[in-house]
Structure 1
Amino acid sequence: MWSEPFQDKEGNTKYRFYERYVDPMSGKRKRTSVVMNKDTRPSQKEAQRLLNERIEKKVKTSTSHAPGLDDLTFHQMAHEWFERYQLTSGSKRGTMKEKRSKLNGIYRAFDADILFKNLNTRIIQDFIDDLHHREMSRGSITGYLSVIKFIIKFGEKNYHIKSNVAVHDIEVPVKVKTIEEIKSKRNNYLEMDEVKKILEYIDYKIKNNKRPDIKRNLQMMRYIIEFQVLNGMRISELLAIQNHNVNLDNKKLEIDGSIIWEKSDEGFGIKDTTKTEKSYRVIDLTDRSCEILRKAMLDNKKEAMWSDRFQDKQYVFTSVAGTPLFKEKVNVLLKEAAEWCGIDKKITSHTLRHTHISLLAQLGGSLKAIMERVGHTDHKTTLRIYTHVTQQMNKDLMNKLEKVSI
């Protein structure tokens, strides 16, 4: 340590004490300093203490980002990656929630003390295979692998730790689909007579239920089911519809968001942006669709006026509390209705979206027009339903032609 006198702005003599140290990151010699009012023995002792503290802090900060760090765990690296991801990805709230969910699953699967440097391809492949054996969907497994790849890339870029994981060699197992699964996916839509049976069952439930709150929720779910069949949006998009999105005079509907199921200060269900940029759209409405919207909005006005429980957040398809209806309630009702009606299909709210696509195909809508109406960016799903329906139409046409006699 050494000192040098200098004059401050007021002309007072002060002393700057220096000490050198080696930066472990670069290997270069550097120096740091502190200022004292005097150059006495006590001042020198205090200056040395302060300099040692500064050097220790600088070395610690440097080594925490040093190449080849040995004691950094996979959990710590994952946590740091997600902190950075939240700041820099620009992802929508729903995507952030999905990544957080995958990260929590990774935390549970890997020991907290496993070192990042000790990860290897076999460990990651075993984790992926285990997800497959638990019959997780291929899409979900791919989501887990994507997060792991992000973490490894983050570690290599920010800490210069050469990973032992060959991410490109990790494979997501493919489940062989049965003929029943293939048929189920191809036929994942309802015929109009099946839709009518489901709505008739719900009408029966509404008529025979005596509790006003349950009757109201059932009626709102009936609106949702019919509206989705008529317009084909995702259930999260439908539940995000607010009064300002509806233009009844011009028979237009703006689809500008989707509901994610998180709790906020305003209640359960938060409106996020649409799934993709293509998903934002304005669609035309039929007279019946306008009638459904008008009835739902009128019912909300009545609830807001007479019920203390109802908090008007301007959503159209609401529960008795004024929040968007939980989509799983719709799925449970659809399953119950299908069983009661003898419909041997696995029906969810997404089936209703596919039903709308099949309806448009039967009506002769072009593939491009259908994709724009339902907000599809990838033509594969639309084309699968479109092709199947048109093939069925051709088959029906040939059956009718066979009956023609001259």
Structure 2
Amino acid sequence: MWIEEIQNSKGTRYKYCERFTLPNGSTKKISITLNSNSRYAHKQAIIELQKKQDETLKTLGINKVTTFYDVAMMWLDYTKPTIKLSTHINHELHVKKVFKYLETSTLIKDVTPLVIEGILQQIYYIENLSYSYMRSVFVTIKAIYKHAKRKGIISTVIDFDDVEIKKKPFSHTDIAKRQNKFLDADELKEVIEKLTKHDSRIGLLFEFMSITGLRIGELLALRLCDYDKEKATININGTIQFQYVNSSEDKRGTPKNIYSVREITLCNRGVQILNSIITDNKRRELWFEGYTDNGYIFTTARGNPYDLQFLNRMLKKVHIEGKTLTTHIFRHTHISMLAELGVPLKSIMQRVGHNDPNTTLGIYTHVTQSMQDDVIAKLNTRKA
């Protein structure tokens, strides 16, 4: 703190000045003016300057945040009102994963590219989690840093190009995992038959997924008003948000992205399944007092969309050698069927609601055994 004398017609006044450093490394000058230069005035100046410093930080939205953890919490609070609940939950999980390897007391200035690289290496190489998951955590770290820059907590964002994570080479296990992400025709038939023995409606639900490629949230959000019986089409315009209770108005949310909004033409079997479920819903409404028609098609005995955990429990009752059954495997299976039928990539993308062709090619277009057999058959019949 330093003092500047101010001379005016009323006499001498004293300007108590102080320059303090912001968490981003820049400095800020603050001052107050008093009529005295006494010891008491000095003490009063220190108190008032501290208040002014706190007010300045608060105005800048900094609140003396210096740790990476505090900035991460700020970012979570800031973004929560602007995103879906499911996205916010994913962000929270990513942040939690970061602080599995980083002390919460670590200052943001100490989170260097080398530190970030170490965290990502633990996730990808040591925990053996997927490359896409590791990249998602990396995106979260970047977002936190950018938020810190906007709030003036740091003056510049680090060069994230200095963070290098090389993709692991494909192993035989990886290849097997890719092949295990879909069901061939015989496996699908077996799964549907086994599910039907447990619950016929569940069997129809997953069969419908396999012939439409819908995400589970999209399927459960399907309403009677989305079905055009004459055109044999369904309009995909929503998704079920499993984080909300059934009575919540937010239970039926918007689709994953703008490309997820689409119209799908049904095959004959798809029409049969929908008509069967709709007829059964009407029967339940007439005969079961606990059933409430909420407009949904694939519902429980009470008329609510199925719970994801319940569906996963049903799938665990079915065993197919070498395959892990999830709700998403039926979506993979549908795209594999389309690839086997020779459907153009653009048509596949439109049907499943993808914008990036690499997503479709990298995740869904698996070479089925029948396609391999077809290649061999054509090579065998080729004339020399």
TM-score, length of structure 2 as denominator length: 0.76
The aligned counterpart of 1:337 is: 318
Q: Which runs of 5+ in 1 are unaligned?
A: 1-18, 33-50, 207-217
The aligned counterpart of 2:331 is: 353
The aligned counterpart of 2:39 is: none
Aligned pairs for 1:40-189 within 5 A? 57-64=51-58, 72-86=66-80, 90-107=82-99, 109-132=101-124, 133-162=126-155, 166-172=159-165, 174-186=167-179, 188-189=181-182
Match of 2:341 among 336, 340, 363: 363
Query: How much has 1:347 moved relative to structure 2?
Result: 3.4
Cα pair 2:65 2:71 within 8 Å, conserved: no
Aligned pairs for 1:5-404 within 5 A? 26-27=28-29, 29=31, 57-64=51-58, 72-86=66-80, 90-107=82-99, 109-132=101-124, 133-162=126-155, 166-172=159-165, 174-186=167-179, 188-203=181-196, 205-206=197-198, 218-264=199-245, 266=247, 270-307=251-288, 309-339=290-320, 343-383=321-361, 386=365, 388-389=367-368, 391-392=371-372, 394-398=374-378, 401=381
Distance 2:265 2:62 in 1: 59
Moved more, 290-299 or 273-282: 290-299
Count of residue pairs brought into register by the alignment:
352
Query: How much has 1:103 moved relative to structure 2?
Result: 2.6
Distance 1:311 1:283 in 2: 27
Distance 1:360 1:319 in 2: 30
Q: Which runs of 5+ in 2 are unaligned?
A: 1-13, 20-26, 35-44
Cα pair 1:94 1:272 within 8 Å, conserved: no
Query: How much has 1:307 moved relative to structure 2?
Result: 4.2
Cα pair 1:269 1:324 within 8 Å, conserved: no
Distance 2:354 2:65 in 1: 46
Query: How much has 1:96 moved relative to structure 2?
Result: 2.7
Cα offsets for 1:244-302 (capped at 9, x unmatched): 21121221100112223203361699222222211110111123212211222333334
Query: How much has 1:124 moved relative to structure 2?
Result: 2.5
Distance 2:206 2:187 in 1: 12
Query: How much has 1:26 moved relative to structure 2?
Result: 4.4
Query: How much has 1:401 moved relative to structure 2?
Result: 2.8
The aligned counterpart of 1:46 is: none
Distance 2:246 2:193 in 1: 38
Moved more, 275-284 or 103-112: 103-112
Cα pair 2:246 2:304 within 8 Å, conserved: no
> Secondary structure of the equivalent of 1:337?
coil
Query: How much has 1:225 moved relative to structure 2?
Result: 1.2
Distance 1:199 1:69 in 2: 57
Cα pair 2:178 2:366 within 8 Å, conserved: no
> Secondary structure of the equivalent of 2:78?
helix
AA of the residue aligned to 1:392: Q
AA of the residue aligned to 1:141: M
Cα pair 2:242 2:308 within 8 Å, conserved: no
Query: How much has 1:226 moved relative to structure 2?
Result: 0.8
AA of the residue aligned to 2:348: I
Cα pair 1:93 1:272 within 8 Å, conserved: no
Distance 1:353 1:289 in 2: 14
Structure of greater Rg = 1
Cα pair 1:141 1:172 within 8 Å, conserved: no
For residues 71 and 80 of structure 1, do their structure 2 counterparts lie closer, same or farther at Cα, with a shift above 3 Å needed? closer
AA of the residue aligned to 2:251: I
Cα pair 1:69 1:159 within 8 Å, conserved: no
Query: How much has 1:162 moved relative to structure 2?
Result: 4.6
Distance 1:67 1:262 in 2: 31
For residues 391 and 222 of structure 1, do their structure 2 counterparts lie closer, same or farther at Cα, with a shift above 3 Å needed? closer
TM-score, length of structure 1 as denominator length: 0.73
For residues 60 and 68 of structure 1, do their structure 2 counterparts lie closer, same or farther at Cα, with a shift above 3 Å needed? closer
Cα pair 1:117 1:164 within 8 Å, conserved: no
For residues 66 and 269 of structure 1, do their structure 2 counterparts lie closer, same or farther at Cα, with a shift above 3 Å needed? closer
For residues 354 and 311 of structure 1, do their structure 2 counterparts lie closer, same or farther at Cα, with a shift above 3 Å needed? same
Cα pair 2:66 2:153 within 8 Å, conserved: no
Distance 2:271 2:202 in 1: 16
For residues 334 and 63 of structure 1, do their structure 2 counterparts lie closer, same or farther at Cα, with a shift above 3 Å needed? closer
